[in-house]
Amino acid sequence: MEKSLTKFMAESAKRHEENSNIIKEIRASTDAAIRNQGALVKTLEIQIRQISKVLQERGFESLPSSTKTKPRDQVKSISTTKDDLYEIRRIGLTT
């Protein structure tokens, strides 16, 4: 009985040591991830400040606008023939 108890205690101590090592590894990994995340947040904060500064210098009302004309203003109607529909279907089947 005493041998069994001694063996059980030795195995328990060994498992405890292994679990402690695993916990230390997890803690180190988590700490590294938190540090990396903190650095990324700082980088984002710097970038947001830079964007804000550029927008303030340029003014919010002076954002660039598109100078291209919209196609819908130029196209009035589209017509198709029966032959056109056949070509469209045929092309659709080959792709």
**How far is it, in rounded angstroms, from Cα 45 to Cα 88?**
52
Summarised one tens digit per residue, pLDDT across range 23-75 is: 999 999 999 999 999 999 999 999 999 998 888 887 766 555 556 666 655 65
**pTM for this one?**
0.46
How much is the pLDDT for 95?
44
**How far is it, in rounded angstroms, from Cα 36 to Cα 44?**
12
Is 77 in a helix, a strand, or coil?
A: coil
- 59: region left, alpha or beta (phi > 0 left; psi from -120 to 50 alpha): left
- Evaluate the CA torsion angle 67, 72, 73, 74 in order and state its sign: positive
CA distances from 45 to 33, 38, 41 (A): 18, 11, 6
